Each structure stands twice: as structure tokens, then as C-alpha cells.
Amino acid sequence: MSLSFDLNLSGGLNRPPQKPYLEEIQDVTVIGAGPAGLSAAIYAKRKGLKTLVIATRVGGQVLDTSAIENYPGFSSISGEELAKQFRNHAGSLGIPMEQQKEVAGITGGESVKTVSLKDGSKIRSRSVIIATGSHHKQLGVPGEGRLKGRGVAYCAICDGPLFQDRTVIVAGGGNAAVEAVIDLSKIAQKVILVHRSQLRADDILVKRMNQLNNVEVHLETPIQEILGDKMVEGVRVIQKATGKENVIKGDGVFVEIGYQSNTKVFEGFLDMNDKNELIVDNQLQTSIPGVFAAGDVIEGPYKQVVISAGDGAKAALAANDYINHIQSGEENKNANIN
Amino acid sequence: MQILTEEVKTQLREILEAMKNEVHLALFTKNGDCPTCEETTGMLKDLEDVTSKVVVHYYDLEKNQQEASEWDVKLTPSIVVLDNNKMYHGIKFNGIPAGHEINSFIKTLLEVSGAGAELPPEAQKRLDAVSTPVNIKVFVTLGCPHCPGAVEKAHKLALSNPHVSSEMIEAQTFHDVSNKFNVSSVPKIVINDEYEFVGDQPLEVFLEEIEKVHMPS
């Protein structure tokens, strides 16, 4: 067991809370503190906007990634470390962050929105940037729900160590799946990747996986069912080429088949596509003026750390323009009255 | 053996300034086959350097059986968290709280020192109704970013009701215990060795499961 200490608490914790944001109107309230949310907060704060971040978990999904090798400036960095850099950067600007807070919904006035939290508090803000990210998609096959936590897992970095010297199956064919295979191959005795179509992971990762001698790959092989009585015992699959069914044995199934946007609380308020991703315009504004969105939560095929960070910057700049615009509008109105 | 880096120590110094009262830690180790015993001892020694508010008592599981049975210690390494009056609130860390788990450990020190926030009134009311023993086991791995949240909640519940005890169990170190409870995803929460759920669920879910013990349906 190699030891490290991934401290992510900050000083001032548990000091008497000073929460002026409950009274003051914010310029920008960012919901979410992954790469999109923190990048948005950094840009907004640097524009001089009164910025608040509300998050369940600072760092977001980056924290679930063992190594990130495609974020410019870092040829290889652990997810934990990159999240820390983002957090420290935002922290150095003095951006207030409300952690472990969940948003219940947004209601929109024309110039001021209200963000309601599940703890009952309400935040008023001229603009809102939604960067709530996404969560693991489920396979949706029989056995998956029943065996969740009994061999069916969604976080290789968390649950991998529990499968030492066992056989594990990874479902999926993208970067996340192949990375999981590479990580698990160091712990498990054997790793079997099973994917319904062809691999779409980066070539560099596929090559690395192919060099491992305890990895087996089954493509064009959809999983029909996860088998097991009390614990996972394997998966029932169909081989597309022959139409034949067979069973692949394993002690665990890691599901890495992509992500589902975290948009549930915005249903009925914001327009979404058929994948429940938020629909945005080219300024990343949602169907409600003044409400912007960035990162994995918005429509679009590519979910990457660097894309989320870029989106966050764009949304913050758009929010800044929006605020300037409504403020100059208000001034004109006042001028007319006078 | 120095375990904490200077960088981490500096951070800890700042965070632990918020500690209100002293906290006593009873560390149980044993000679011989004890993975991470040495590291855990080193970690707590480093922690004593960082703050005078943490006082560590070093015990041997075999030699100090009286203390071990008083706090129901069966595993090593195990850290029992006691308040400034050396009172036990049912809070333990079994296995080294390293990796992500240092966060729940430090948070717990702050809580037990009296620097924590109160539970939401509604939650406290539900918890006050619990009058029979409830034991919460939270299985974790050190690479799991969701785990500290679950440990913090469980420990907070223990601190807020004398009938509730809560222990973190590092699943890799205590392989046999985690096998016994079929741990294949973390955090896995087991209540009175009977009711269980997976994930860093909201406080309400913890309370619902506890209420199942309290008022079996």
C-alpha cells in the first residue's frame, strides 16, 4: 500500500460562518466545482464580479480519475492533484465556496434569479452558471441494480483495490473504460474488457492496454445480463457476429460506458435535449436569459476536462456581458424616469 | 518514521487552528503482523508535532486489554477518538486514515474538539429517538474520494447520540472483515451488521437505515 495524503480541507473551516451572500445579491452564482465551474468562477472573479460557488464536491469527476494525460501543461497528472490545482487557483482569488451543498432548483426573475438549496437557504444572483457535470451511466441490463455494490461498480479508482487477484470485467469502449482496464490490470489477476461495438478510446491508451498480458478484449459483444446470486459471478453476452450467447466469468463488473448529465433539478425550467443535456446557444446561455451552462452538463458529444474548463471561461465571459447589458439597461431606464 | 510531508503539516497547522478543546487519541497497534501499524504511529507522532491540542496515547492491543475492551477495539491499527475529558463517543478509525481519508480524520478531530456545527434540528430530533445501541461500520479505500463524506456523517451521528457508535474500516487492510460483509464497492455502510447501503448518501438515508434497526418493520 503506497501512502499519500490528499488533504482537501481549507483553513478557516468550522469558523463561525459568515455568509453575506444570503443577504447580498451575487453577480454570478456558479453551481458545481469541477473544471467547468472552477474555471467559470476564476474568470468571473477576475472580471470583478461578485462570485459564489456552490458545490457538492470540489474537483468533480476529475477526482475519480487516476491520471490525466491530455490537459495541456501536464503530460501526466493525477486527478487529485489537478483538482487541487484548480481549487487552489480559485481559492487564491478569495472566491467563496459553499461545499457539500445541493441545489434544489432555480427560479428566474428577469434581472435576479433565485437559487434554492436543499438545506432551505436561498441565494439571489443576477446570473447563474450551471456546471453540475454528469454521473456514470448504467448499463440498464438485468442484474445490474440488484448486484450494485455486490460486484457491480462504477469507480475503478475507489473499488479497484477490493478486487486484488480476482477477475474483473470492464464494460465500455471509451477512454474511461480503457483507463479503468489499465488501472485494474495492476491489481486484478485478469481484466476482461467487454464492449458492444468497436473501441473509441484514444490510440495511445489502446496501445498501452494491448501491451498488458493479463487483459482480454471482447468487442462487438453486448452484455445482456449481469449474473450472480449474492455477488457478481459473470456476464451473459451475445457475440454480434455469430448471434451466439455465452457467459464470461468474473468477480466484478466495472461499468464505464459514459455519462449522464446532472440536470434533474432543472427539469421543467430549462430546455433539454433527448439525452437530458441542457440546450445552450453559442454564448452558452440556456433557454432562460441570464442562466448559462458549461461542461459535461451541456449538449455535445465530447466530455473532456479541457473542454469543460474552456466552456467555463466562455460562460463566465458571457455572464459578464449579460450583467453589463442589464445594468446599462437599468441605467437607461433610470435615465428615462429622471 | 516521518509520514506527513512538510507541505501537509503546514496545511494541517492552519486547519487545526480551529480546534476548540483538546482531543485525545488512543492508538492501538501490535507487534508482528500489522500492516500500516508503523505508518499510523508515525502519522500520529507527526500530528502531535503539528498541534498541542492532540494528545496521543499509545497502546498495544495485547498488553492493554483493559483499554481495548473498554473501547471495543479488535483490530490494529485502530485509532479511538476521545474528547478533552477522555470521554469515548463511539468513534474509531480502523486502519490508517491516509489518502483521501485524512479529510474525514481531520474533520472528526475538529468536531470532537467542539468546533463542529450542530446537526440540522430535524435530523437531531430523529436521532434523539434512538435509544438502543447502533453500530455503524463505514468501509473505505484510501483512493476513494467519496468515502470521507460518508465517514464524516457516520462519526457525526455517533458524536450526536450516545447510543450510536461509528467506525471507519479500511477495506484493504482488513480484507477478512470486508469479505465477511461482501464489500465490493466503497463507501459501504453497514448498520448493526445487518442493514447496509453503498455510497456517500445524504444524512436522511443514514437516519432511515438507523431507524430500521430501532423500529424493525
Report pLDDT digits (tens) over A15-69.
Answer: 444 566 667 899 999 999 999 999 999 999 999 999 999 998 888 889 888 788 8
Beta pairing partners, B164: B134
Q: Which residue in B3, B172, B184, B201 has the most chain A C-beta atoms within 10 A of its own C-beta, making it the best mutation to test that interface? A: B184
Mean pLDDT value of segment A260-286: 95
CATH class of B121-214: alpha beta
Closest chain A residue to the Cα of B35, Cα to Cα: A1
Please name the amino acid found at residue B8: V
Answer whether B106 sits within 8 Å of A9, measured CB to CB. Answer: yes
Would you give per-residue pLDDT tens digits along chain B (217 residues)?
A: 889 999 999 999 999 999 999 999 999 999 988 999 999 999 999 999 999 999 999 999 999 999 999 999 999 999 999 999 999 999 999 999 999 999 999 999 999 999 988 888 889 999 999 999 999 999 999 989 889 999 999 999 999 999 999 999 999 999 999 999 999 999 999 999 999 999 888 888 899 999 988 665 5
Residue B112 has what DSSP assignment?
I
B4 touches chain A (CB under 8 A): yes
In Å, how far is B66's CA from the nearest CA of chain A? 31
Which residues on chain B are in Cβ contact (under 8 Å) with A163?
A: 184
Task: Give the pLDDT confidence of A98-144 residue by residue, as tens digits.
Answer: 887 889 999 987 889 999 998 888 999 999 999 999 998 999 999 99
Answer whether A148 sits within 8 Å of B188, measured CB to CB. Answer: no
CATH fold of the domain at B6-115: Glutaredoxin (3.40.30)
CA distance A39 to B207: 36
Which residues on chain B are in Cβ contact (under 8 Å) with A5?
A: 4-5, 8, 98-99, 102
Which residues on chain A are in Cβ contact (under 8 Å) with B146?
A: 57, 155, 158
* Domain range annotation of chain B: 6-115, 121-214
pLDDT band at A337 (very low <50, low <70, confident <90, very high): low
Given the candidates 3.50.50.60, 3.40.50.1260, 3.40.190.10, 3.40.50.920, the CATH classification of the domain at A26-136+259-336 is 3.50.50.60
Give CATH 3.50.50.60 domain extents, chain A. Answer: 26-136+259-336, 144-255
Kindly state the cell numbers that stand for B92: 474509531
CB A196 within 8 A of CB A221: yes
B142 touches chain A (CB under 8 A): yes
User: Please, what is the average pLDDT of chain A?
Assistant: 91
pLDDT of residue A302: 85
Kindly state the cell numbers that stand for A62: 476529475
Q: Are strands A122-130 and A113-117 parallel, antiparallel or unpaired?
A: antiparallel
Given the candidates 3.40.640.10, 3.50.50.60, 3.40.50.1360, 2.130.10.10, the CATH classification of the domain at A144-255 is 3.50.50.60
CB A242 within 8 A of CB A228: no
A158 is catalytic: yes
Write the burial class of residue B69 (CB in 10 Å: 0-12 exposed, 13-18 middle, 19+ buried).
exposed
Establish whether this prediction's ipTM goes over 0.85: no
Kindly state the cell numbers that stand for A56: 457538492
pLDDT band at A13 (very low <50, low <70, confident <90, very high): very low
Please name the amino acid found at residue A157: I
In Å, how far is A164's CA from the nearest CA of chain B? 9
Options A6, A64, A119, A158, the catalytic residue: A158
User: Are the folds of B6-115 and B121-214 the same?
Assistant: yes
